[in-house]
Each structure stands twice: as structure tokens, then as C-alpha cells.
Amino acid sequence: MLFAVLLYPRVTALDAVGPYDVFSKVPGNDVVFVGERTGPVRTEIGSLGLVADATLDEVTSPDVVVVPGGHGQADLMSGGPVRDWLRRTDATSTWTTSVCSGSLLLAAAGLLRGRRATSHWLALDQLPAFGAEPTGERVVRDGKYVTAAGVSSGIDMALTLVGLQSGDRVAQAVQLGIEYDPQPPYDAGVPSKAPADVVDYLRQHRRFVLTGRD
Amino acid sequence: MLFAVLLYPRVTALDAVGPYDVFSKVPGNDVVFVGERTGPVRTEIGSLGLVADATLDEVTSPDVVVVPGGHGQADLMSGGPVRDWLRRTDATSTWTTSVCSGSLLLAAAGLLRGRRATSHWLALDQLPAFGAEPTGERVVRDGKYVTAAGVSSGIDMALTLVGLQSGDRVAQAVQLGIEYDPQPPYDAGVPSKAPADVVDYLRQHRRFVLTGRD
């Protein structure tokens, strides 16, 4: 199975690397990072470069497409090579997946029309404009489309997909291998659980959280 | 606060990127990736390059040292520039931290002598040889040393440290920002919860899990 993880400037590193470290641990899976150009792509905050090893033109028919979110997502919504690549690869993919605001890129490419999908909680309300139906679930599967909520949810999405593709035992072995027995020191990972002032703060800075720009 | 994340060949990407995406979201935090040389460092499975932006010699007094684990850890245990760097930076760090088998590097540098610490569950039994006391906790703090269990636990470690350093509200805002409300599709993240045959399989392939070599 060939997994293609899309990189673009100001992508969120964990959106891409969470699924990568799950998918790549399954024997027989190959994961390639693709970008408009090969070479380092600077992530969201700028202090990490992730290397794209192939151009969009070099990876045209991966089995699984993985679209991470991040501040740079907004710049890609109105068309261009990334949107063309998403449509082209989706035509033959077994699974088309996203993490966080990556689902907005799939939606803008017209791929989630009439589909249930999710996104970062601050971005969910942008889905209907593209004909997608937002849900509050952490991982949403509708046909071959598997979308995940914000950032860290890509790990849950990837384990779900490994289970579907390779079976429960393989997925459990990967989970045990990465010791994924989460114990967050706080219970504030969704708006319904976080303190109201923390939720308000992020809502007020919503544009910055989603795009890195005020 | 300057956070230095160590990179070395065959590091586990998620060990480094989980903490990075937590620490870098706190205003005032700078995160720099350091390696023996600058430029791309290939991670564990080989299909991802993470870019080191500074050499060890260029980052001598970070506030926080972050040591990820990975297949390449075993090659660094017997000394060399990385061990020298760990000792040098630890002398002035506010916090010295590790994820997964990264704690073995700290231990081999003599920094965990008489300390409680953790590591990947398959590597825990290597800690006593270096005078460290292994525990079964996911995140262990002993003085300024904060060690985390396998791979994904780096996210919990980083949120814990942000809470200690910047307060609960900031840590909760980061948690909500990365929507860290984990919902693994299986409950197999530690040996006590995983199916016995899955645990046995990983134990039998322990050397491969830890070093990538049979």
C-alpha cells in the first residue's frame, strides 16, 4: 500500500507525523511525503522543516491520500496544483483521508459533497459551504473518505484505518508499539470539556488559530 | 524559553514532533531542532526527513532539552558528540526531558543516576544498569528530569511541562488548540491492556521494535 502525505508551507507537523508514524509501522506500507517541490517544507510555526521527497506529479496514484491541515491551508482553497492533485489522486485512491483543516481542502476540491465529515472544531462551520455535512465525531468515515478532527486526532484516524485495512491485531500491535495509552494531564481537548474562558479565548483568536494571521 | 529537540539518524518522528507541536504553540517559546550536522535527518522508517536547523555546537544552553527515542538511539549509547552535548546542555537546562528510548541516552550520559524515570515499555529494564529507577508511569518527573514512556506519550509529557512552566490555563488552551481528546479505536496501548498474543509478538520482536534490526 502506498500512502501519500501532502506537505505544503505552514502545514501542521503533528497532523502529518501522527498518521505517518502509525501507517509506516505496518509491514508492507510505504509512506511518501509529497509537495509542489521536493525538499524541506517549513511547518506552521516555522521552526521545523519536513522534507517532501516527491513532487505532486511523481505520485499520481497512491492507495491512500493523507491531507493534513495547518495555517497554510487557507492559501490553497481557491485552486492550483494541490487541488488538481487531490482530484486526480482521489479518482483512483482506496482511501482519501484528512486531519484537521485538511478536510477543507478536500471539500474545496469538491470531494466531500453530500458526505459526512469533520475538521478542527473551529473550522467545522466551513464545511457546509462545500456541500459537506459536519459532525462532532473525532473520526468520521463516509465511504472511502475518512476525516479526522483537530491535529492530534490524526493518530486515532490512522489507527482506525489500519484496523479497517489490516485487521484489529495489526492495529493493536501498532498501538502497543507506539504506547498509545493517552493520559492527558487535563481534560480540555474539546470545547464541551474545556473551561469556558479557554474556549472563549480560542474562539476570539479563531482566525489566528486556523491561519496564523490576525 | 528556548527548547532544543535533538535529532539523530533513525529517530522516531512522533517522539520529536508531538512535543514540538505542543511547546511551539505557547507564545514566547522557541523550538530549535539540533543535530550533529544541519539539514535533513532521516527518521526511523526512512520515508521522512526532519530538518536540523542548528548543530550541537550552536545550541549550548537551551532552557529545555528534548531527547526523542528511536531506532538510532542504540548507536549513540557508547559516547560521542551527542552524549557530550547532553551533559553540556543539562548543566544549565531548566528542564531535561525525553520521550521513549530517549531516556536511555540521558541515562547513558549519567544524568538519571538515582532518579526515577521511564522509557518505552520494552526498554524499561535497561534503565537500572545506568542507576536509574524505572517506573510504570506514563510521565515521570524527578527534579528537573521529565521522562515519558513510548512514542505518543511525548504529547502528555509536553502538556505536563507546559502546565508546570506556563500554568494550567495555557496548557489547556494548547490541548484544546490541538484538539487532544484522544479516542483510540482500541484499548491496547500498554501491555496490561493489549491482547496477550499482541504483547507476545512485540516481545519476540523486541530488538526489531527498539532498534529496527533483527
Q: What is the mean pLDDT of residues A196-207?
A: 96
Q: How far is A109 from chain B (nearest CA, A)?
A: 24
H runs (alpha helix) in A29-134: 81-90, 102-108
What's the pLDDT score for residue A45? 79
pLDDT tens per residue, range B13-30:
999 999 999 999 999 999
Query: Are the Cβ atoms of A185 and B20 closer than 8 angstroms?
Result: no
Quick check: helix, strand or coil at residue A110?
coil
Going by pLDDT thresholds of 50, 70 and 90, the confidence category of residue A38 is very high
**Mean model confidence pLDDT for chain A:** 97
Residue tagged 509506516 (cell numbers): A24
pLDDT band at B214; cut points 50, 70, 90: confident
Look at the alpha carbons of A52, A24, B34, B147 in this order and tell me if their dihedral is positive or negative: positive
Task: Give the model confidence (pLDDT) of B179-208 as tens digits.
Answer: 999 999 999 999 999 999 999 999 999 999
Among residues B202, B211, B156, B44, the alpha carbon closest in space to that of A181 is found at: B156
Q: Which residue has the higher pLDDT, A45 or B151?
A: B151
Q: Which three cell numbers stand for residue B143?
A: 527534579
**Cell of residue B154, nine digits:** 511525548
- Would the pLDDT of B11 be above 80? yes
Task: Report the share of chain A in percent with pLDDT over 90.
Answer: 96
- Confidence at A116, pLDDT banded by 50, 70, 90: very high
Residue pLDDT, tens place only, A45-80? 778 999 999 999 999 999 999 999 999 999 999 999
| Residues of A with a known catalytic role | 100
* Residue A11 predicted with pLDDT over 90: yes
CA of B132: how far to CAs of B64, B104, B136, B158, B211, in Å?
A: 20, 10, 13, 21, 21
Residues 79-138 of A with CB under 8 A from B: 100, 120-121, 138
> Which residues on adjacent β-strands are paired with residue B43?
B11
The arrangement of strands across the sheet holding B2-6 comes to: B54-55, B30-35, B2-6, B64-67, B95-98, B145-148, B139-142
Work out whether strand B139-142 and strand B145-148 pair parallel, antiparallel, or are unpaired: antiparallel
Identify all chain A residues contacting B209, using CB atoms and an 8 Å cutoff: 177
Distance between first and last Cα of chain A = 40
Query: Which cell numbers hold the place of A158?
Result: 490512522
Domains within chain A, CATH numbers bracketed: 2-182 (3.40.50.880), 184-214 (no CATH)
pLDDT, tens digit (0-9, with 9 covering 90-100), for A119-158: 999 999 999 999 999 998 999 999 999 999 999 999 999 9
pLDDT at B166: 96
Residue B213 pLDDT level (bands cut at 50, 70, 90): confident
| B38-97 pLDDT, tens digit each | 999 999 877 899 999 999 999 999 999 999 999 999 999 999 999 999 999 999 999 999
Q: Which amino acid is at B20?
A: Y
Please name the amino acid found at residue A31. V
> Backbone dihedral region of B13: left (phi > 0), alpha (psi from -120 to 50 degrees) or beta?
alpha
Among B21, B103, B200, most A C-beta atoms within 10 A, so best to mutate, is B21
Query: Between B46 and A117, where is the model more confident?
Result: A117
The verdict on ipTM greater than 0.95 is yes
- Judged against a pLDDT cut of 80, whether residue A193 lies above it is answered with yes
Q: Which of B50, B178, B209 comes nearest A152 by C-beta?
A: B178
Whether B117 is a known active-site residue: answer no
